[in-house]
């Protein structure tokens, strides 16, 4: 379904401004585990949808924010392409996730260390800022340094800097084939094991540790993959795509544990004393998922001590997720004001102060 509601949405923002209302920007509501904004009114983006421009040979796609992520992925797959960041939907199989919501949350999947993050692939955006102005930044080309990089600033800003209307993403060729290999390895040795794999010029597209084993995903042509497999050995997994999807979408049994789920972004080789069964390591060590009942203070301190940061990702009640670090809070507030002077967008989703 293709539908341009830019002007109606703009009118709604202007009206909210005039009436001193606040707006909760609503997409597909897939990420229900996150705190919803505390606003007086809503700005619904789901019906502002449709792919606007897709040029496979130019490696970009432009679509409206309400376009389902799955629609984009299917279209790309038809042309042997994909979104290289492998961003999760968290839709529980219902195709709820929209492009806009995906960008606003800014999550990247297992491919992150090898093909870049979601923000790395954002080339341009069209937004409504807090004054109801329609603004375009970036474009459809990879190299573009005209003006500040507002497009990438929007990624992960959770809608607090403006309502995303259109997004242009870089797309990548889909590898011909993939396989996943499993290697028995203790958590303690996993960091060195991953470092060693990194130095072997393998066509890697994911590397994780779970339940006593390191998993590597290789991609490329059949020949390249077979060659690499001969070089490193390992046990061939039969259901590679399903395995990575279940980890990315957090449907894997690991995520069924009852304790709150913490997300820790860490220097890849840093060591944390965490019980093995409560931990899943992605991004070659750069991302750790930890089920624990420890206090917020304790987890955050543990991560910070090793040069990382942590936030509560899922709990029995909705969580606020990532909030600005204290030393950058003032700057965040000023930036927020520069886009949304009256603070009408998504109050409370990034902590109380932004």
Partner 1 sequence: MSLSNITRGLLIAQLKKVLSKESLLQEPETMRPYECDGLSAYRQLPGVVCLPETVEQVQAVMRICYALKVPIVPRGAGTGLSGGALPDSAGVLLVLTKLNHILEIDTQNFCARIEPGVRNLALSDVTRPLGLYYAPDPSSQMACTIGGNVAENSGGVHCLKYGLTVHNVLGLKIITVEGELLEIGGKTLDSSGYDLLALLCGSEGLLGVVVEVTVRLLPCPEYAQVLLAVFDDVAKAGSTVSHIIAAGIIPAGLEMMDKLVIQAVEDFTHAGFPKHAHAILLCEMDGAKTEVIEQISRVQDIMLQSGAFELRVAKDEAERALFWKSRKSAFTALGRLSPDYYCMDGTIPRRSLATVLTRIAALSEAFNLPVANVFHAGDGNLHPLILYDANREGDLKQTERLGSQILELCVSVGGTITGEHGVGIEKLGGMCMQFTSSELTQFLAVKTAFDEQGLLNPGKAIPTLHRCAEFGAMHVHQGQLTFPELERY
**How does 138-148 read in b/e, with b if 16+ C-beta sit within 10 Å?**
bbbeeeeeeee
**134/278 with CB nearer partner 1:** 134
**38/328 with CB nearer partner 1:** 328
Backbone angles phi, psi at 205, to 5 degrees: -135, 0
**68/248 with CB nearer partner 1:** 248
Residues 123-142 that bind partner 1 (CB under 8 A): 129, 133-137, 139-142
From the CB of residue 291, how many other CB atoms can be counted at a distance below 10 Å? 20
Residue from 152, 217, 291, 314 in contact with partner 1 (CB under 8 A) = 152
246 binds partner 1 (CB under 8 A): no
Nearest Cα residue to 110 out of 227, 192, 194, 169: 194
Residues 312-351 that bind partner 1 (CB under 8 A): 322-325, 327-328, 331-332, 334-335, 337-339, 350
Backbone angles phi, psi at 245, to 5 degrees: -65, -40
State the residue for tokens 């259109």. Answer: 166
Nearest Cα residue to 182 out of 116, 220, 239, 245: 239
Residues 214-243 that bind partner 1 (CB under 8 A): 220-221, 223-224, 227-228
4 binds partner 1 (CB under 8 A): no
Nearest Cα residue to 312 out of 291, 340, 341: 291
**50/116 with CB nearer partner 1:** 116
**95/136 with CB nearer partner 1:** 136
Smallest distance, partner 1 to C-beta of residue 351, A: 9
Residues 45-104 that bind partner 1 (CB under 8 A): 53, 55-59, 80-81
267 binds partner 1 (CB under 8 A): yes
The encoded tokens of residue 96 equal: 């709820």
Size of the site for partner 1 (CB under 8 A): 84
Q: Which residues are registered as beta bridge partners of 167? A: 63, 125
Smallest distance, partner 1 to C-beta of residue 297, A: 16
Strand-strand pairing, 81-82 and 122-128: unpaired
């Amino acid at each position: 379904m293709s539908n341009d509601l830019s002007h109606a949405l703009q009118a709604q923002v202007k009206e909210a401004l005039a009436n001193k209302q606040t707006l909760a920007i609503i997409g597909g509501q897939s990420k229900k585990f996150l705190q919803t904004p505390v606003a007086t009114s809503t700005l619904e983006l789901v019906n502002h949808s449709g792919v606007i421009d897709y040029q496979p040979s130019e490696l970009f796609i432009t679509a409206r924010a309400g376009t389902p992520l799955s629609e984009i992925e299917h279209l790309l797959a038809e042309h042997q392409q994909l979104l290289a960041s492998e961003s999760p939907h968290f839709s529980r199989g219902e195709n709820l996730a929209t492009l806009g919501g995906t960008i606003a949350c800014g999550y990247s999947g297992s491919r992150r260390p090898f093909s870049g993050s979601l923000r790395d692939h954002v080339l341009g955006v069209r937004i409504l800022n807090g004054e109801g102005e329609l603004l375009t930044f970036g474009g459809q080309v990879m190299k573009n340094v005209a003006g500040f990089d507002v497009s990438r600033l929007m990624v992960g800003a959770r809608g607090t800097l403006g309502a995303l209307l259109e997004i242009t993403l870089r797309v990548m060729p889909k590898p011909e084939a993939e396989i996943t290999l499993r290697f028995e390895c203790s958590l303690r040795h996993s960091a060195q094991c991953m470092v060693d794999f990194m130095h072997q010029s393998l066509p890697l597209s994911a590397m994780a540790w779970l339940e006593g084993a390191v998993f590597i995903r290789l991609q490329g042509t059949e020949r390249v993959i077979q060659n690499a497999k001969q070089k490193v050995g390992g046990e061939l997994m039969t259901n590679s795509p399903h395995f990575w999807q279940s980890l990315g979408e957090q449907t894997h049994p690991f995520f069924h544990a009852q304790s709150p789920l913490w997300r820790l972004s860490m220097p890849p080789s840093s060591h944390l004393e965490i019980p093995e069964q409560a931990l899943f390591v992605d991004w070659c060590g750069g991302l750790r998922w930890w089920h624990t009942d420890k206090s917020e203070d304790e987890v955050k301190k543990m991560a910070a001590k090793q040069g990382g940061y942590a936030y509560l990702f899922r709990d029995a009640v909705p969580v606020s997720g990532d909030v600005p670090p204290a030393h950058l809070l003032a700057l965040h507030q000023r930036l927020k004001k520069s886009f949304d002077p009256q603070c009408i967008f998504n109050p409370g989703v990034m902590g109380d102060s932004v």
